């Protein structure tokens, strides 16, 4: 196993098994864990993604959650999902052959070769004056295997030309690239992260459908607003901001 070399801003909690690293991180945050506390489990028995969906979590892939205490509004804290996408994207992009295309799927998926390599789960507890008491950033990256028969086709790093990776190496890469983007977000705001995310956005300028529990909207994906909402141009030309939902692409 790789001897971990994480930047000193991180405080690692390493576990063989957890029900959910997000749950572990939340419990630590409630107990006063400091910003940068990083929970890493080799396996999850109850991993979850957005909207409570099951996240298959066998050994061999990366499952980690980070406690963050940003001094921003709750709305600004949501931007960390895009910051994390950039950290994951640059990490996995550095580990596979350079010709493998990298894309971001709104709101929080990272795709390699048009298949899902990673998912991100952001959970926050509101504190005083509309600011988060803490934010839990959960990240899963398919390293050695991936689930079959998923709504979005999946892949893993081994399949894409990076076999035999130690999961610790992937954790190091994510920690390093996320820290770089998080520092830039703190210094320069969401603008640079938004532009970098849009530069690799899947479906930008193309027809898409937005599906949630109650409705389905069709239109063209034209932009992200200044807080990360998807800007959907409807058939009549009106534009609507979408804060939550699943994106389906034409075809």
When pLDDT is averaged across residues 220-247 and rounded to a whole number, the result is 94
Is it the case that residue 100 has pLDDT exceeding 60? yes
User: Which has more confidence, 86 or 249?
Assistant: 86
The correct CATH number of 11-199 out of 3.30.930.10, 3.40.630.30, 3.40.190.10, 3.40.50.620 is: 3.30.930.10
CATH 2.30.30.100 domain extents, the chain: 207-249
**What pLDDT, in 10s, does the model give residues 68-82?**
999 999 999 999 999
In terms of phi and psi (left: phi > 0; alpha: psi -120 to 50; beta: otherwise), the region of 60 is: left
**What pLDDT, in 10s, does the model give residues 150-189?**
778 999 999 999 999 999 999 999 999 999 999 999 999 9
Q: Quote the CA–CA distance of 88 and 93 in Å, as a whole number.
A: 8
Q: What is the pTM of this model?
A: 0.93
CATH 3.30.930.10 domain extents, the chain: 11-199
Q: Quote the CA–CA distance of 83 and 224 in Å, as a whole number.
A: 14
Burial class (CB in 10 A: 0-12, 13-18, 19+), 248: middle
The correct CATH number of 207-249 out of 3.10.129.10, 3.30.499.10, 1.10.620.20, 2.30.30.100 is: 2.30.30.100
| pLDDT at position 47 | 64
Q: Quote the CA–CA distance of 207 and 80 in Å, as a whole number.
A: 26
Largest CA distance in the chain: 57
Do residues 136 and 123 lie in contact, with contact meaning Cβ atoms separated by under 8 Å?
Answer: yes
């Amino acid at each position: 196993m790789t001897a971990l070399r994480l930047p000193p801003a991180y405080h690692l909690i390493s576990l063989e098994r957890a029900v959910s690293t997000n749950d572990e991180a939340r419990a630590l945050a409630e107990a006063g864990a400091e910003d940068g506390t990083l929970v890493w489990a080799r396996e999850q028995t109850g991993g979850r993604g957005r909207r409570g969906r099951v996240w298959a979590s066998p050994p061999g892939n990366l499952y980690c959650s980070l406690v963050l205490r940003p001094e921003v509004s709750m709305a600004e804290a949501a931007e960390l999902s895009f910051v994390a996408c950039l950290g994951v994207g640059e990490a996995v992009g550095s580990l596979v052959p350079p010709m493998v295309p990298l894309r971001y799927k709104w709101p929080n998926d990272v795709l390699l070769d048009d298949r899902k390599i990673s998912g991100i789960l952001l959970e926050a507890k509101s504190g005083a004056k509309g600011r988060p008491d803490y934010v839990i950033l959960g990240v899963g990256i398919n390293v050695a295997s991936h689930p079959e028969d998923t709504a979005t086709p999946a892949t893993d790093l081994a399949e894409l030309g990076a076999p035999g990776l130690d999961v610790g190496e992937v954790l190091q890469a994510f920690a390093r690239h996320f820290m770089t983007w998080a520092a830039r977000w703190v210094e320069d705001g969401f603008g640079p992260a938004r532009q970098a995310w849009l530069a690799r956005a899947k479906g930008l300028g193309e027809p898409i459908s937005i599906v949630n529990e109650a409705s389905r909207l069709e239109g063209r994906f034209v932009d992200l607003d200044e807080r990360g909402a998807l800007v959907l141009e409807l058939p009549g030309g009106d534009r609507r901001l979408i804060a939550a939902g699943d994106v389906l692409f034409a075809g």
